[in-house]
Amino acid sequence: MVRWVLESGQRTLFDPGFGMGALFDPVADDPGMVFAGSEKDSKILDFWTGEAGGRKVEIEHEDYLLSWGKSHANIVCNPSYMRFQKFIGRDSVFKAFVDNLGLRLSGYTNTASAFLLKSLSELNGSGRLAYIMPLEFLNTGYGIIVKKRLIESGHLVSIINLKCEKDIFPDAITSVGIILYDACRQYSHVDFHIADSISSLKNILECQPTTRVALDRLNPESKWLSYFQKNTFDINHRMAVPLNYYGHFSRGIATGANEFFVLKPSRAETLGINGPEVVPCITKSSQIRQPVFGRADYDDLVRNDAPVLLFCVSKTHSKHAADYIRSGEQRGYNTRFLTKNRNPWYKTERRAPAPLLLGVFSRGGYKIIRNRSEVLNLTCFHGFQPNIIGMAYLDRLFLYLASAPGRDVVSLCVRRYGDALDKFEPNDLNQALVPGQQVFDELSNREVAKAVRCAERTGKTPGWIDTFFEQLMIPNDH
């Protein structure tokens, strides 16, 4: 990163998140280099001062996100990563961005994205910027404003996906990449590279990119993580509609204390709690192994004494339930983050059984379930509630979501984290593109029933279903 930035010819570097000076090390012995930075942690600054050994570097003791009015030629940074929901000073930062840039940041923005936006505004046009970033912003709603800023003047050179992030950041919980931005020149395209090893970074810009996208085809509202796939495609929008045309996904029931609320049948019997005070519920993703889940499958779980009952009572309940609630209070379950904000604390969220379930986390492909059991689900799955139109297309939606083309299209909405972990958020899923009614209506009810039976019997959709849904995808070499 430092080497690439200095190819601008400017002999200055600024690091907005100096930390322990890792990005200063490559130029520490260069007498002609002017290096400056920001760091708000006084303990780190004190340590650095002791370790600097007289090396020339100017570090301001300041909060970078609240320090405005400066400009720089070259900027290089590995910014702090924290979601703004957990950031104590976020209100002051939000106000500073409105006052100085006229930008209203989403509450879901992370600090790294805020660092990047601010640094882009501080480039003086004579140098370059290189940033290490969590790449989740490429597929999120809050990332739209970041992507728009990156491409609005044609200076974005490349985004590098570090598939070797665990070699560099062993504790990383999100996918990591490098943003290269050249304020000196304008570019007609953006290269998307994948770095499989640390050593490959040295000459990566000289290699063929995974995808090269013309600048005028980069849409900030699109999901850019797809550009790291070797075989990319466009979608035939005339055939597609957002998933929320048929209904919506929402997260499963969050109890706040599964140890208390989730019971095995034997445990419920011992406690004397039964009837409407414990309801059938899928509590772990591993409890469903086949794509079609029926009542008989749930009954098998009950016979095996799996934890598939949800304690579900209101203010009016039996003596046995009251005794159990008191035991929960003695163990402090009523003081958990979620439970202490409920009244009463033991009242769980109300949900209707969802006929389609989609796994929240996955590696190598999401889990989609046609739920015919009328059983509830916890947060291991998002549940789809159809509207009036969607009621008639549930099996067709299931087949599409389970098909190879459907998985490719829907996965454009996934958020990729470290260690190849994928996560879906309900709002992202609801914007995923699916076939319109006209496409679905080409499938007869008999064909649909036959394909669902095949999925139930074999665990996957028949090949002709994949072929049918491929009409939504247009091969695109970019």
For the segment 395-425, what is each residue's pLDDT rounded down to a tens digit?
999 999 999 999 988 887 777 665 667 888 8
As given in the structure block, the two tokens for residue 303 are 């016979």
Q: 3-class DSSP state for residue 353?
A: coil
Using an 8 Å Cβ cutoff, are 311 and 263 in contact?
yes
Its pTM stands at 0.68
The DSSP 8-state label assigned to residue 338 in this structure reads T
The percent helix, strand, coil of the chain (3-state, each to 5) is 40, 25, 40
For the segment 367-383, what is each residue's pLDDT rounded down to a tens digit?
999 999 999 999 999 99
From the candidate CATH numbers 3.40.50.720, 3.40.50.150, 2.40.50.140, 3.40.50.800, the one assigned to the domain spanning 2-230: 3.40.50.150
What is the per-residue pLDDT for 478?
Answer: 42
Chain Cα centroid distance, residue 389? 29
Q: Topology of domain 232-253+351-478, per CATH?
A: Adenine-n6-DNA-methyltransferase TaqI; Chain A, domain 2 (3.90.220)
Beta bridge partners of 422: 362, 416
For the segment 130-176, what is each residue's pLDDT rounded down to a tens digit?
999 988 899 888 899 999 999 999 999 999 998 876 556 656 556 78
| Helical (H) or strand (E) element with 2 | helix 2-6
| Unique residue bearing structure tokens 């600024």 | 14
What is the per-residue pLDDT for 419?
Answer: 61
Residues of the chain with CATH 3.90.220: 232-253+351-478
Residues of the chain with CATH 3.40.50.150: 2-230
In 3D space, the residue among 442, 432, 386, 385 whose CA is nearest the CA of residue 408 turns out to be: 432
Neighbouring CB atoms inside 10 A of 77's CB total 26
For the segment 189-213, what is each residue's pLDDT rounded down to a tens digit?
999 999 988 888 889 999 999 888 9
Residues 22, 28: Cα–Cα separation, whole Å:
10
Phi and psi, residue 275, nearest 5° = 65, -140
Residues 338, 251: Cα–Cα separation, whole Å:
15
Quote the mean pLDDT of the chain.
Answer: 90
